Amino acid sequence: MKTKDYTMKKLLKKAIKPFQAKYEVVCTTYQVIPGLPINRNQSKHAFGRGAALEAKEFYTKVVSSDITKTMAPVEVQLRKIYLGGRTIDQAEFGPVQHLKNLNKGKKKK
């Protein structure tokens, strides 16, 4: 009986997997040099379909890292991608919102 249950669970996981969401952790660093425009660098770490636990663990490691906190201004996002991207969790270190507002103001002119 246990082998049938195990194989049914395995088949069910294979059938559902294409419909699960992908996840990614996006780390955006802002470089501010007076007199120059604000430079923004993004690095993405993608995870496969249904890998929510692995993505969340990686996100918490990045956010709790001392290196991330000393690189301010930094923005770290945990994103779920399914028919469109959606931010699940977000952490900011330093004046990220202020830099975003400065960047928006310069684009409008």
Map out the domains of the chain as residue ranges.
26-108
pTM here? Answer: 0.78
Residue 64 makes CB contacts below 8 A (sequence gap 6+) with none
| 47 and 55 Cβ atoms separated by less than 8 Å | yes
- Say what the pLDDT of residue 99 is: 86
What is the per-residue pLDDT across 47-61, written as a single tens digit (0 to 9) for each? 998 899 999 999 999
Q: Mean per-residue pLDDT for 34-56?
A: 91
Q: For position 109, what pLDDT does the model report?
A: 43
Tens-digit pLDDT profile for residues 63-96: 999 888 888 799 999 999 987 889 999 999 989 8
Which strands sit side by side in the sheet containing 39-47, from one edge to the other? 39-47, 22-31, 74-81, 85-93
